[in-house]
Structures are given as C-alpha cells and as structure tokens.
C-alpha cells in the first residue's frame, strides 16, 4: 500500500460476523479510525431530547431489529467521517453502508475522499445458525464498547481485557427474536449491496467469518494487501 494514501475498509456482513472485532484489529494493525455505525446511533439516542419525535420513532424501529431511515444514517455517517478523516491512516467501518439507498448516497462521497482504488468492500460471511449462536451470548464493554466475541477463550471473563470495564449485553438487539429479525433484514436489505458494488466495478473481498478471530484478521490483511494499488 502507498503509505501516503488514506484507505477505506467497509466491513459488511450479518449480525455476529465479527465486524466490530475485526474493525478494532484493523484499527490497531493499519492505524485506521474505527467508525462504528451502532455506536453513532446509540450516541444519538442517548443525547437526544426526550421529546424528539424523529429520534424516538427511529429508536422504536431500531429496537425491533429493523433498519432505521437510510437518509438519516447517511447524514450521521458522513458527518462523523468528516470529523475523523484527518487523524488516521484511513477509516474502517463496521456496519455501513447497510442498504442500497445508503450506498448510493455514501459511495460517491467516499470515492471523492479516498479514491475508488483505495476502497475495500469486505464481505464477512456467516451462516444463520452461527449468527444466532454468537449474538445470543455476545457482550461489549461498558466504557468503550470493545466487542467480546462468544468464543470459548472469552466465556469466563467478567471485565474487558482492554480497559477493565464492566461487560454488558445489548438486550435491545441480542434477544432471540430480534436476532432472527436482524438476520432476515440483512438478507433482504444489505446483501443486495454486493451486486451494487460489482456493478460499480469493485472487487468484493469474501472472507469466511466462521474461522478463528486471528484467521479472519489475517485473511483480511492479505486481501487488502493483494488488491492495494501501490
């Protein structure tokens, strides 16, 4: 990779595929800023006025496992991108874009910022069964939202290994019914993105998300290096 050129890595996949975990690792390995869609959304909810009807309605939608208004999310994502772009070697997103409408709005702006050759759409693949298994037990840390995967090596820990804060479960998103809804929503509204990216001339990097965390990370790094234009 050209060390002077910022890159954008788009980690996309079904719930529980490890987008957040892999984004954290890429942040460390490549010096990328982790732009996490779910954190942006939750921060907006937390800081909203109690009588904000738009935010309250969007929160109701979000809690069911459905996707929120695409135009609203696009605005939040681009605003955050503008804030952080100057402070890193690039950006890695976990969970954006999520719909064709978001991609149609965001991709031209991403290309203007990074250049098409420096954008890497990565499809982290995960089966429905494995998605349910991972989401029904996964946790994040309370302080900085570090993801704690539902893997055997993490099952007995009670505090975050990175910052020592309490581990919590996102009850709004990870109850069994909502997990099922979220996977179906992914198939219907997010998976069509891959055809869109191909139509736009992008190479889709496909990664087996059912490997170990280390293997998934290694495969992503190899793919980025392979398809980077020096």
What pLDDT digit, counting tens, does each position of 82-111 carry?
A: 898 888 889 999 988 999 999 999 999 999
Coil, helix or strand at residue 174: coil
Pairing of strands 90-94, 33-36: parallel
Rounded Cα gap, residues 107 and 103, in angstroms = 5
Residue 165: the pLDDT is 87
Rounded Cα gap, residues 22 and 216, in angstroms = 8
Please answer whether residues 100 and 193 qualify as being in contact, where contact means their C-beta atoms are separated by less than 8 angstroms. yes
Asked whether the bond before 97 is cis by omega within 30 degrees of 0, the reply is yes
pLDDT (mean) for 170-175: 63
Rounded Cα gap, residues 138 and 151, in angstroms = 9
Q: Is residue 97 part of a domain?
A: yes
Q: Is residue 168 part of a domain?
A: no
Gyration radius (Cα) of the chain, Å: 17
Q: Is residue 83 part of a domain?
A: yes
Tell me how crowded residue 11 is: count the other CB atoms within 10 A of its CB.
27
* pLDDT value at 19 more than 90: yes
Q: Is residue 1 part of a domain?
A: no
Rounded Cα gap, residues 124 and 167, in angstroms = 25
pLDDT (mean) for 150-167: 81
Residue 170: the pLDDT is 67
Max CA pair span of the chain: 51
Q: What average pLDDT is seen over the chain?
A: 88
The two structure tokens encoding residue 149: 């995967």
Residue 166: the pLDDT is 85
**DSSP-assigned beta bridge partners for residue 125:** 208
* pLDDT value at 2 more than 70: no
CATH number of the domain enclosing 180: 3.40.50.300
Q: Is residue 29 part of a domain?
A: yes
| Confidence class for position 42, pLDDT limits 50, 70, 90 | confident
* pLDDT value at 201 more than 90: yes
Mean pLDDT comparison of 32-36, 58-62, 152-156, highest-scoring range: 32-36
pLDDT (mean) for 46-59: 88
| Confidence class for position 224, pLDDT limits 50, 70, 90 | very high
Q: Is residue 143 part of a domain?
A: no
Q: Is residue 60 part of a domain?
A: yes
* pLDDT value at 179 more than 90: no
| Confidence class for position 172, pLDDT limits 50, 70, 90 | low
pLDDT (mean) for 41-67: 87
Domains in the chain, number: 1
- Domain range for residue 86? 7-128+176-227
Residue 162: the pLDDT is 82
Residue 149: the pLDDT is 75
Q: Is residue 137 part of a domain?
A: no
């Amino acid at each position: 990779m050209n060390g002077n050129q910022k890159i954008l890595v788009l980690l996309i996949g079904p719930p529980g595929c490890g987008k957040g975990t892999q984004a954290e690792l890429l942040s460390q390995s490549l010096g990328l800023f982790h732009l996490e869609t779910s954190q942006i959304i939750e921060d907006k909810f937390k800081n909203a006025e109690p009588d904000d009807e738009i935010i309250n309605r969007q929160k109701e939608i979000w809690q069911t496992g459905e996707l929120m208004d695409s135009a609203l999310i696009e605005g939040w994502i681009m605003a955050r991108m503008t804030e952080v772009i100057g402070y890193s070697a690039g950006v890695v997103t976990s969970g954006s874009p999520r719909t064709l409408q978001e991609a149609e709005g965001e991709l031209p702006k991403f290309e203007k910022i990074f250049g098409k050759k420096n954008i890497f759409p990565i499809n982290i693949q995960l089966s429905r069964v494995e998605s349910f298994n991972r989401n029904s037990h996964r946790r994040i840390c309370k302080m900085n939202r570090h993801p704690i995967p539902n893997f055997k090596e993490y099952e007995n820990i009670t505090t975050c290994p990175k910052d020592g804060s309490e581990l919590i479960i996102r009850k709004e998103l990870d109850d069994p019914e909502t997990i099922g809804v979220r996977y179906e929503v992914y198939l219907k509204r997010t998976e069509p993105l891959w055809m869109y990216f191909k139509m736009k001339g992008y190479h889709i990097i496909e990664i087996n998300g059912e490997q170990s965390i280390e293997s998934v990370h290694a495969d992503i790094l190899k793919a980025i290096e392979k398809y980077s234009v020096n």
